[in-house]
Chains A and B, each alone.
Chain A
Amino acid sequence: MSSRSLRGRVAVAGIGETAYYKHGQSPDPEFKLALMAILRAAEDAGIDPREIDGFASYSNDRNEPSRLSAALGIHELRFANMQWGGGGGGGSGAVGNAAAAIATGMADCVVVFRALAQGQFARFGQGPQSPTIDGDKAFEAPYGMMSPGQRYAMKVMRFLEEHGIAPSAQRGIALASYHHAQANPRAVMHGRPLDAEKYDDSRWIVEPFRLFDCCMENDGAAALILVSAERARDLPHKPCYLLSAAAGSEHRCAAPSHNAPTYASSSFTTVAPHLYRMAGLSPGDVDVVQSYENFTGGVLVSLVEHGFFEPEAAAEFLTKENLVAPTGKLPLNTSGGNLAECYMHGLELQLEAIRQIRGASTSQVPDAEVSMVCSGPLVTPVSSMILGGEATL
């Protein structure tokens, strides 16, 4: 193993989350949600929360490590890390950053967390309310392109057009998420099933996305704690090792006003090869995938760019039957994900990927040993990670 690799050096000690709420309905402020999730992750790990010596997050999380450290009375702060970039593109990147700190001796016990209270702060799905606008958004907002859905529908439409894919190919992704949410009591959409007819009858938000192609907006917090692989073997849970993490985007991905050279992309074309190389694995080795759904079309392109199928085979591959646990060819978003469990800005996907390795998912894939997360398609930077059980080392 190259010394410049994270493979097998860091493991998950514990996971925790708050109750998940519809946006604006959390009874607790955002900072308190963050604290609750971190304490639950420490409890799950069997670790005194004062032993945490590092924090990593993404998407400009408002809950700063210094305040968290003071509030929790941690002994010593050694690592305070923010993965740049909006959206959920940093979810796996933050895990990679935290793991890198542990693998290089910069910290021993790092928590990766994300907290959102959209009632306390602004919602994502609304356009700017200011009378004037400048910068990149000035090239979009006056034409009615203001929300993330409107920004990314343009990319996904180009991908669908280039490869002759009908928008209905996105449907199976939504059906699988809702199917898994019915088994998951944490899920906001638990008890609210979705079938093909209801999907087809749902209104367009922005073509090619229907209502059920779009993520929810929620309040809550989630956290996971990482330690060295050696330490994890002495902790209560079956160890879940980080096999690889990669983040980034293509050449000039953020060229303003939709001028990225590789435009019809979920931004993973350069990231995915790094991911597989570090893990020493290929798509066929992956047992279960959590793929961030801002929009189902983004999941479709993510799965293509991670090598699970060719674009032209999208409709054939993305059937509900292929995507549901335990029997599907590639079980996807087995907690319900951003569509139907909770839009915890994707970090609920990391927690679910860990549960699959532990054998503790509500939609468990039998003997799952290789568990992948793809974070935040279509934005820049994006990131992905692969987790594995003991047998993968």
Chain B
Amino acid sequence: MSGYLPDGLPIPVAENDGLSAPYWQGLREEVIRVQKCGGCGVLQFGPEWICHRCHSFDLGWTEVAGKGRIYSWERSHHPVHPALRAHGPYIVVLVELEGTGGLRMIGNLLGDPAQDVKVGAAVEAVFEHHEAAEPKYSLLQWTYVETSP
């Protein structure tokens, strides 16, 4: 097991039109990329071929900080994939990224799967690399920000 969840879950890859390739490549390089519109400057995620605000097709990618707050969460108990059958509960969080105008990404909350989860709590990114997988890939995970005593 090389990550928070057991090996054998579907490996994320870019679509055959390459729309999200810069995002997945970014995680390999330990950076979080979202789209930035060359027309109006709005940030956009998940990726699309057009800016939803100004309809420009001139969309580039920009790096954003690996910091955010828990927007929602769930604790999953029932296994819906063979790789999860003997695993037990795990936590999925929806994180609102700081400084992005409210963009959100899904990840796991690292640590005890039985821990309390608080909406609004500050979290930071952890890049989880799957080097033994074919193809290799990286996931974006989250952990509570350590608060000084």
Contact = CB atoms under 8 A, between A and B. Distances in A.
B26 to A, nearest CB: 13
B10 A142 contact: yes
Contacts of B45: 256-257, 259
Interface in A139-189: 139-147, 149-150, 153-155, 157-158, 161
A226 B72 CA distance: 42
Given A139-B106, A143-B106, A157 B73 contact: yes
B77 A205 contact: yes
Given A134-B12, A134-B14, A127 B92 contact: no
B12 A258 contact: no
A136 interface: yes
Interface string A232-266: 00000000000000000000100111110001100
A2 interface: no
A142 B74 CA distance: 15
Contact of A258 (B14, B47, B94, B135): B94
A350 to B, nearest CB: 29
Residue from B14, B72, B119 whose CB has the most chain A CB atoms within 10 Å: B72
Interface in B68-99: 71-78, 80-82, 84, 89-90, 92, 94
A158 B73 CA distance: 8
A126 interface: yes
A146 B78 CA distance: 11
A275 to B, nearest CB: 27
B16 to A, nearest CB: 8
A206 B76 contact: yes
Contact of A257 (B11, B46, B84): B46
A126 B75 CA distance: 17
A205 B14 CA distance: 30
Interface in B120-149: 135, 137, 139
Interface in A87-128: 125-128
Nearest to B6: A144
Contacts of B89: 204
A135 interface: yes
B31 to A, nearest CB: 17
Given A132-B11, A134-B12, A138-B20, A257 B104 contact: yes
A147 B107 CA distance: 15
A207 interface: yes
A46 B13 CA distance: 54
Given A133-B12, A134-B15, A145 B77 contact: no
Given A143-B92, A204-B75, A131 B10 contact: yes
A154 B73 CA distance: 6
A255 B46 CA distance: 7
A208 interface: yes
Given A131-B10, A138-B13, A146 B106 contact: no
Contact of A134 (B9, B13, B103, B104): B13
B52 interface: yes
Interface string B42-78: 0001111000100000000000000000011111111
A130 interface: yes
Contacts of A140: 106
B5 interface: yes
Given A136-B46, A256-B47, A257-B106, A142 B11 contact: yes
Contacts of A264: 72
Interface in B99-114: 103-108
B106 A259 contact: no
A139 B76 contact: no
Contacts of A130: 10
Given A142-B11, A205-B78, 14 more contacts: A132-B13, A134-B13, A136-B46, A142-B137, A142-B139, A144-B5, A149-B78, A154-B92, A158-B94, A204-B78, A252-B52, A257-B45, A259-B45, A263-B71
4 closest A-B pairs by CB = A256-B46, A133-B10, A138-B12, A158-B72
8 contacts: A127-B10, A134-B13, A138-B13, A147-B80, A157-B72, A207-B76, A252-B52, A259-B45
Interface of A: 125-147, 149-150, 153-155, 157-158, 161, 203-208, 252, 255-259, 263-264
